[in-house]
Structures are given as structure tokens and as C-alpha cells.
Amino acid sequence: MDEKNAGKAPPSLPSLPDEHEETYESRVRIGFVTDRQEWATALAQKSPSTLSIESHPVMEDWETGYMEMLAAFAASKGGRILEVGFGLGLSARAIQKYPIEEHVIIEANADVYKDACIFAAQAPQRTIALLGFWQDVTPTLPDGSFDGILFDTYPLSAEEVHRNHFPFFPEAFRLLKEGGVFTYYSDEVSGFSAEHRLFLERAGFRAIDSVLCPVEPGENCLYWKHKTILVPRIRKDVRGETETPPYGLQLLFDGYGAPRTLLEDVGFLYDTLMRLPEEIGMRRLGYPQIIQIPETPIVGLSGFVFIIESHISVHTYSERGFVTLDIYSCKEFDTEKAKVLLESLFKVRRSETQVIVRGTKFHADFPVPPVSTGENTCPPS
């Protein structure tokens, strides 16, 4: 891992799987920097078993077996290998065991970059170390220039904790040769979440596979608390690029600690369902329907509104400060923006979300696109 956060901790927990909550909260307690340049120039604290930068735990040697599995897949095609994030050099040393042609390493922290340069000078295979954040360096690299990519960086912002690899997916797809392979520190315990898989598919990947690696993180490890971690095995499969997109997305939102008065307010819920579709890029059909539920222990409101893209439904439990809502759309939408908006509207103290990909075979069975109306019509073609 190589990059440090540059944002402030958000007021509430992002929509992460339950198993990530503890490690997310520990990173929030550590804090975040406000300037990427501060991370780039900070001195690293190194030992044979740990790497930290300004008290941020970047890498520990319990990852050795995991890094070896990532390296084995990244180097499985031979040729040119791109590694983003040098850290303790665990994966870099493993990559060098394979018959590759060239090994390119990108490292953002100048102090760790010095170690990467020493490694490159002594490596048995041709190795080049590049200094900078991947966002600045990879755009200078040509399309289709690598046979394998291994990505492992430190998140740049609180919102990127357990998600910092997602923005790199389109760049990995661009940089890989046809048939090339991609792997990375996954932050997944046992399988890809629906959101994770969706980001891979949006980047163009269709050949998505994985295996599990058993690990033994120390009791004091702040960034991993589990006995397994997922090894992504992603391929740029040319045949897979012809696969069709899914029918749509369904965002499931659960909010806790909302004010009771808000959850009992018929007018508030009606206004929310009137405005919400437009604010997330949807088109409302007709007017919301609101029903009051007086029966204990489910005192609250239920609401529903049709949208051209599908529907939005909501149920409140005022005595428990709980709201559960789903947005089902036959076109893609910004689920993170919708989550933040719902947290603000319902004034929740904490939230959970899931993103479900719906109708993955819809266009395979019904390939005829809809008639264009000049807008983003459903179903997507």
C-alpha cells in the first residue's frame, strides 16, 4: 500500500459490508491528512515486519502469503507487469520469481520510492520504479501495454476506505493487453459484494473470478480482522466484452437513529417522495401514496411512488427511529449520491446499504433496444 487519505472522516459510516465496520472505524480514529503532498513527502517508519507512515499502518508481514498469491496471478501471463504500490516489497519480490520481461512499479511516497529504486537496481528481471500517485502516472502509459497488473495502495480519503481500488478499475482495463490479468488487495472476506462486481463490470471486465487466501493478522492489526481475504482473478476477456449490461440496479437503504417526529410526519414523507426522483435523475409517474400504520410495534408510515424507471418505496418505524427504503431503477444511477442524500433527508445517525444488480441476462434474451425518446430510456440498451 502506498497512499494516505486526504479527506476528513464523514459524519456517518459509509455503506460497507458489516465485516468492514470495525476496520473502517479504526481508520477514522487514526485520522486523515488533508494534502496528498504531505503523504508523498512524509518519512516512513520501517521494520522488517511493518511499514507505517505518520502512524498509518500501511503494510504488515502477515500479508506475505496473500501478496505471493496476488503476484502469482499477476505474473501468470509473463510479459510486462505493472505493480501499483511498493510497500514492504512483499509482492514485488514474489513477482520477480516468475519469467517476466519487465516489472514497472509505481510508488507515491518518496521515502518508500527510494526502497523501490534499490529493489529495481538489484532485481533479477528488468525493473523500473516510477514516483507519483497512480492518478498522475498511469495516464502517461499507453493503452494495452501490460500483461498483468497488481494494485495495492493506501486509501486517499475516508470515503475510499475499503473502496480505493474501485476508481482504478477503468484504468486497469485500459492498460491491459487483450487476455491480460488483473488482481489487487480486495478488502473482501469471502466474495465480491454486488457493488464491487458492478464497478468491475462498468470498467469493462466480464471474466471475474476469485479464490480465498487464509491469513493470520495479528491481534493489533488495525486494517484487517479476519481469517480469510479474497484474491481477485480478473481477466480482460475479449469475448466477455460482448456481454450485455444488466437490466438495472436496486439500492436497499436502512437508516438508524432517525428523529421519531420525522418518521411520523406524513407531509415530510410525501414531499420527500415528490422530490427524490428528480434529485437522483429519475422521472416521477403520478403522486406518492402514503399509508399510516398505527399498529404496535410497527407504528409508522409506508410510502410508494412510481417512477418511469421503476419505483421507490419506504417504510418507517417511528418508535425505533428506523427507516428502510429501496430504489429500483432500470437504468444505472449514482447509488453513493442517493445514499448520502437519504442520510441527510432522514437525519439518521447510521446507515447500511446494499446494491443489487438486477436482470443480468435480460438483454441476452431481449436484445432489441428501445425506441429513443431523446432521454435515458429504460431498459438500457
pLDDT of residue 3: 40
356-373 per-position pLDDT tens digit: 878 877 766 555 444 434
C-alpha distance from residue 153 to each of 108, 216, 228, 314, 358 (Å):
9, 20, 19, 38, 31
The CA distances from residue 247 to 170, 235, 312, 322, 336, in Å, are 21, 23, 17, 30, 19
Q: Are residues 353 and 268 in the same domain?
A: yes
Residues 113 and 105: their CA atoms lie apart, in Å, by 9
Residues 33, 100, single domain; the answer is: yes
Q: Is residue 30, in this structure, part of any structural domain at all?
A: yes
Backbone phi, psi, residue 146, to 5° = -130, 145
| Continuous segment of H or E residues that includes residue 94 | helix 90-95
pLDDT at 147: 96
| List of the chain residues with pLDDT < 50 | 1-14, 16, 240-242, 368-376, 380-381
Domain boundary among 199, 225, 242: 242
Say if residue 238 is in the same domain as residue 357: no
pLDDT of residue 215: 92
Domain count, the chain: 2
Same domain, 105 and 159: yes
Q: Which domain holds residue 90?
A: 18-242
Domain annotation covers residue 191: yes
| Per-residue pLDDT, 6 | 35
pTM for the complete prediction?
0.62
The pLDDT value recorded for residue 199 is 92
The per-residue pLDDT for 359 is: 83
342 DSSP assignment: H
The string of pLDDT tens digits covering residues 51-93 is: 998 888 899 999 999 999 999 999 999 999 999 999 999 999 9
Same domain, 37 and 80: yes
Residue 88's alpha-carbon distances to 17, 97, 255, in angstroms, are: 28, 16, 40
Same domain, 186 and 284: no
Decide if 335 contacts 353 (C-beta within 8 A): yes
How far apart are alpha carbons 107 and 110 in whole angstroms? Answer: 8
pLDDT attached to residue 100: 96
Distance CA 266, CA 281 (A): 24
- The pLDDT, as a whole number, for residue 223 is 83
Q: What are phi and psi of 119, to 5 degrees?
A: -60, -45
Q: Give the residue carrying C-alpha cell 494495452.
A: 144
Same domain flag for 167 and 29: yes
Characterise 79 by phi-psi region: left (phi > 0), alpha (psi -120 to 50), beta (else). left
Q: Is residue 10 part of a domain?
A: no
